[in-house]
Structure 1
Amino acid sequence: MSGFLIYGANGYTGRLIVAEALRRNLAPVLAGRNREALAAMGAEFGLSWRAFDLTDAAALRREFDGQPLVLNCAGPFSQTARPVLDACLATRAHYLDITGEIDVFALCHRAHEEAVARGIVVAPGTGFDVVPTDCVAALLKQRLPDATHLVLAFEAGGGPSPGTAKTSVEGLAKGGRARIDGKLVEVPLAWKSRSFLRDGQARSAMTIPWGDVYTAYISTGIPNIETYMTVSPATIARVRRLRLIRPLLGLAPVQAWLKRRAAATPGPDAGRRERSDCRVWGEAHNAAGAEAKLQLAAPNGYALTATASVGMVCRVLSGGPAATGFHTPSQLMGADYVLGLPGVRLIDG
């Protein structure tokens, strides 16, 4: 079961996933673009490695040939998901990634029928994006089967990695998203704001285009979905001011400058990950006004990404699920999957 390939293994999150795979006595093949970094990792951990980029489709298929599964950890996934997914389809390798990008979920979902025909699983979003929120959505659907509205929110401590920061830069230019009456709709940045209670203390939050506006709809069928992230009131005000210059945010020179700044983000070190945690809220309502609520307490999001993604790799490599094709995390692993991850606990209400 140890044979699989991690693309982007030398990145911030990729390294954490490699460490978790080794902890589970797995021996992944390390892959990415940075030959020097991969060679050093291979020597350090006694693992094989391959350096290649994603621009040559034929070469990519050769690199993936014989691999039962590829876990894509190289973001922004808007740039890497399509070539990696296409190569996985061509070589019949299962495709997993740790994206939180709505358009990447849509890309993978559109590949469902081809994935079924090729006999592979396509399961994006195997990390903090979107395992805990997707599982909360599925748990709420079990509690309130006729729910018509779903609200999901999270608070993530510790700070972002370089890849997450660069993905956020891309998101500013795309604006907000929400699910309204079953349709994916563009909305303004910081479209709505409200608060969530954490241990009796109010946390201000704003809507963001989190992946669940796509995946939670697939998992639950709930037609109205909003996703929030806790931030300060000052941040909400700043983001709303960005609406005035949003066209400029999509210009290539502006994106390049912002991504260079984002790439300088080192990501939280081991101590900061250990000291920080996450909280996830979920609320579901039906047409009659009935309500179901859940909260999850979880470790740092990058720690959760490592354990969640490797757990899903193990499930796929061990022969589950019975069905091939596209899966959300709760479809692949069950609604209660997140509750079995280290450091996660359920808080009702």
Structure 2
Amino acid sequence: MPSLLVYGTYGYTGRLIANEAVSRGVNSLTVAGRDGERLSTQAAALGVDGRVFDLETDDVAAHVREFDVLLNCAGPFVETADTLVDACIETGTDYLDITGEFPVFERLRQRDESARDAGVTLLPGVGFDVVPTDCLARYLSERLPSGDKLTLGIKGRGTPSSGTARTLAGLAGDGGVVRRNGRLVNVPAAFRSRRIDFGDGPEHAVTIPLGDVVTAPRSAGVESVEVYAAMPPWMARAMATADSLAGLLEIRPVERSLSWLLEAILDGPGDRELAEGTMTIWGEIRERDEPSRRVRARLRTPNVYALTAHTAVGAAERLLAGRSDGEESADRVPPGFQTPATAFGSEFILEFAGTDRELLETPRDSDDPDRTVPGSEADGGCH
């Protein structure tokens, strides 16, 4: 029977994922991490096996070898992914994680060939970022295959977990990134703004550096990608000034103190927010040489963390099922670097409760450049 190892399960998101896996009856589940006391308590409460090992000091491959699929929930993933991917490629274990960090996606993309040679699937981003955005990008490209410029927008509110906050703190001051004509380009934080209609009228949004700048070219065949987040102008200005903190945050004592503080004061959304919170993703694909030819759509999902628990376990179940019938199974996700949409298709996101998608505009609607489909917005432009 195929077996699943989930590493980093006693953090906020890891706990949600472990609980979801148990509630869905995932067989041969083992939880893992480096803190023996916390791990043993969790494993006993869940009624599953626990395994303690440290990514820096232990023989990671020896601990991973017996498992068919590994799901990494230990962030920041820029610090954990490489070691676990090394172990997975060595042992023939499929790799999943819930990162949203674009440098991790890019590093794993560059390991596509070695993973294919080893018969290993590398599938990062099976949480909120990038499952819904990646599936929406694929959906848009299926309706306009000639589109080569993708814009995504995200809107939501909520309390971050300490792990998410530490990741954001680690990225503070690093600026942003977009994809232009097939190349990743570093840009200032919040360097561009536009108006996006998430369903209640146009709202101010600014560019943010999410993993779609790496995944969307593969899943949607686009050459240019920008990702925006809805936020008021004052918050965007504060985000832009974070560049000046880069040197401060790189000082080790400051970094350690900030991580400790975030761990102490944040533990993610409460039960009510988890159950009632929602997110909205807006997307547009267009032809660069004929901007009036475009497709727009919106996707609504549950709370980020609730959705991540569902999609991460759902992705793990898919990989386990592909393993159950042997290496040549028709259901096996191909080896090498994959995105959620290339692995499971654009409809994958709609398998989960609380998600719905709305097509706003098609190329036929765009023949009249002054026409806007009800519910969509006129071009907001960029500044």
Is TM-score (shorter-chain normalized) higher than 0.5? yes
Cα 1:36–1:20 change in 2 (3 A) is: same
Residue in 1 that maps onto 2:297: 294
Q: Which moved more, 1:249-258 or 1:120-129?
A: 249-258
Aligned residue for 2:138, secondary structure, equals: helix
Residue in 2 that maps onto 1:93: 93
How far apart are residue 322 of structure 1 and its match?
A: 4.8
1:313 aligns with 2:316: yes
How far apart are residue 198 of structure 1 and its match?
A: 2.8
CA distance in 2, matches of 1:96, 1:174: 25
CA distance in 2, matches of 1:214, 1:261: 31
Residue in 1 that maps onto 2:365: none
CA distance in 2, matches of 1:2, 1:200: 46
Residue in 2 that maps onto 1:63: 63
How far apart are residue 254 of structure 1 and its match?
A: 3.6
Q: How does 1:168-183 map to 2 (within 5 A)?
A: 168-183=168-183
How far apart are residue 214 of structure 1 and its match?
A: 0.8
How far apart are residue 164 of structure 1 and its match?
A: 0.8
User: AA paired with 1:299?
Assistant: P
How far apart are residue 204 of structure 1 and its match?
A: 2.0
CA distance in 1, matches of 2:52, 2:152: 38
Q: Residues 282-303 of structure 1: CA distance to partner in whole angstroms, max 9, x if unpaired? A: 0111121211101011100111
CA distance in 2, matches of 1:158, 1:29: 30
Deviating runs (4+, > 6 A) in structure 1?
A: none
Cα 1:333–1:115 change in 2 (3 A) is: same
Q: Residues 91-150 of structure 1: CA distance to partner in whole angstroms, max 9, x if unpaired? A: 111110000111111111122111111111110000101000011111111111111211
Aligned residue for 1:173, secondary structure, equals: coil
CA distance in 2, matches of 1:212, 1:179: 9
Aligned residue for 2:299, secondary structure, equals: strand
Aligned residue for 1:174, secondary structure, equals: coil
Q: Which moved more, 1:325-334 or 1:243-252?
A: 243-252
Residue in 1 that maps onto 2:354: 343
Q: Which moved more, 1:202-211 or 1:250-259?
A: 250-259
User: AA paired with 1:122?
Assistant: L
Q: How does 1:11-90 map to 2 (within 5 A)?
A: 11-27=11-27, 28-56=29-57, 59-90=59-90
Q: Is the 8 A contact 2:198 2:281 kept in 1?
A: no
CA distance in 2, matches of 1:98, 1:17: 10
Q: How does 1:1-349 map to 2 (within 5 A)?
A: 3-27=3-27, 28-56=29-57, 59-264=59-264, 265-286=266-287, 287-289=289-291, 290-319=293-322, 320-349=331-360
- 5+ residue gaps, structure 1, are none
How far apart are residue 41 of structure 1 and its match?
A: 1.1
Equivalences, count: 348
Cα 1:55–1:197 change in 2 (3 A) is: same
Aligned residue for 1:318, secondary structure, equals: helix
Q: Which moved more, 1:86-95 or 1:257-266?
A: 257-266
Q: Residues 54-95 of structure 1: CA distance to partner in whole angstroms, max 9, x if unpaired? A: 0135x2111112111110000000110011111111111111
User: AA paired with 1:46?
Assistant: G
Q: Which moved more, 1:102-111 or 1:243-252?
A: 243-252
CA distance in 2, matches of 1:198, 1:113: 39
User: AA paired with 2:157?
Assistant: G
Q: Residues 29-73 of structure 1: CA distance to partner in whole angstroms, max 9, x if unpaired? A: 01001211111111111111011110135x211111211111000
Aligned residue for 1:235, secondary structure, equals: helix
Q: Residues 252-279 of structure 1: CA distance to partner in whole angstroms, max 9, x if unpaired? A: 3443333333323111022111121111
How far apart are residue 3 of structure 1 and its match?
A: 1.7
CA distance in 1, matches of 2:164, 2:95: 20
Q: Is the 8 A contact 2:4 2:69 kept in 1?
A: yes
CA distance in 2, matches of 1:156, 1:138: 22
Q: Is the 8 A contact 1:279 1:298 kept in 2?
A: yes
How far apart are residue 190 of structure 1 and its match?
A: 0.5
User: AA paired with 2:356?
Assistant: R
Cα 1:261–1:195 change in 2 (3 A) is: farther
Q: Is the 8 A contact 1:2 1:26 kept in 2?
A: no
CA distance in 1, matches of 2:86, 2:160: 29
User: AA paired with 1:291?
Assistant: R
CA distance in 2, matches of 1:82, 1:63: 16
* Structural RMSD (CA): 1.5
How far apart are residue 251 of structure 1 and its match?
A: 3.5
Q: Which moved more, 1:182-191 or 1:334-343?
A: 334-343
CA distance in 2, matches of 1:303, 1:153: 20
Aligned residue for 2:16, secondary structure, equals: helix
How far apart are residue 307 of structure 1 and its match?
A: 0.9
Aligned residue for 1:70, secondary structure, equals: strand
CA distance in 1, matches of 2:343, 2:98: 14
> Which entry has the higher C-alpha Rg, 1 or 2?
2
Q: Is the 8 A contact 2:189 2:239 kept in 1?
A: yes
User: AA paired with 1:323?
Assistant: P
How far apart are residue 2 of structure 1 and its match?
A: 5.9
